[in-house]
Amino acid sequence: MCIIAPSILSADSGRLAQEIAAMEAAGADWLHLDIMDGHFVPNITFGPWVVEMAKKTAKIPLDVHLMVSDPLTYGPMFARAGADIVTIHTEATVHLHRALTAIREAGAKPGLVLNPATPLSAIEYSLDLVDLLVVMGVNPGFSGQPFIESTTQKVSNLTKFLQSRKLNIPIEVDGGVNDQNAPHLAKAGATVLVSGSHLFKSKDYRAAILNLRKLCQNP
């Protein structure tokens, strides 16, 4: 089964609640919320109030992606705001173990994200602490960037890495996902696909989600 998670970074921000409701009604499995602090990445997005609003608006799980330099402070804060999953970057802190544990204690499932240049070894000693692993398909900070092709090989390497340790942690790909690369990512072992610009620029959200899921499930 594949999970399709629209990223509301590409939504019409003046109609955010309606866009969230429309994506849920169109069959989105999860909602992906990108939190940027203007420090870890050169862009600023939303605070916890958007997660609180999304929680009231939609019933599907909220996958909150923290692109922040201080995940130890903000991880638990976003968990308390209503995130079901909080993912943090391996590159953001030297205290990954502490931050992941704090997120779980605050009531959310913790996950780890790898930037395009970050090796798989960065997650090796955190695997027992996470419920989701995210491979970035672009450099974090903006939606609508072109997919970095080496991501597919990285997902395949991660799949083998997890299999060799007999671990069944889902792999999410975030950034640049579209109908062309989805089948390759699925073959490589990804089961959660985040999509911002591709889904939000489609005329028919339902058809676009269905098609992406079909391409992921029957690659």
DSSP state at residue 7 = B
Residue from 24, 40, 45, 65 binding Zn ion (CB under 5 A)? 65
* Residue 134 engages ligand DX5 in binding (rule: CB under 6 A): no
Distance from C-alpha of 20 to C-alpha of 98, rounded to nearest angstrom:
32
- Provide the phi-psi class of 138: left if phi over 0, else alpha when psi is between -120 and 50, else beta: beta
b/e sequence 112-142, b meaning 16+ C-beta within 10 Å: bbbbeebebeebeebeebbbbbbbbbbebbb
* Residue 9 engages ligand DX5 in binding (rule: CB under 6 A): yes
* Residue 176 engages ligand DX5 in binding (rule: CB under 6 A): yes
Token output for 109: 């499932």
| Interface mask toward Zn ion for 157-196; x: CB under 5 A | -----------------x----------------------
Token output for 194: 């985040």
CB of 32 to ligand DX5, least distance (A): 6
- Provide the phi-psi class of 194: left if phi over 0, else alpha when psi is between -120 and 50, else beta: beta
Stretch that binds ligand DX5, among 69-77, 78-86, 95-103, 194-202 (CB under 6 A): 194-202
| Interface mask toward ligand DX5 for 17-56; x: CB under 6 A | ---------------x-x----------------------
Distance from C-alpha of 175 to C-alpha of 157, rounded to nearest angstrom:
18
CB of 178 to ligand DX5, least distance (A): 8
* Residue 174 engages ligand DX5 in binding (rule: CB under 6 A): yes
| Beta carbon nearer to ligand DX5, 124 or 204 | 204
**Which residues make up the interface to Zn ion (CB under 5 A)?**
34, 65, 174
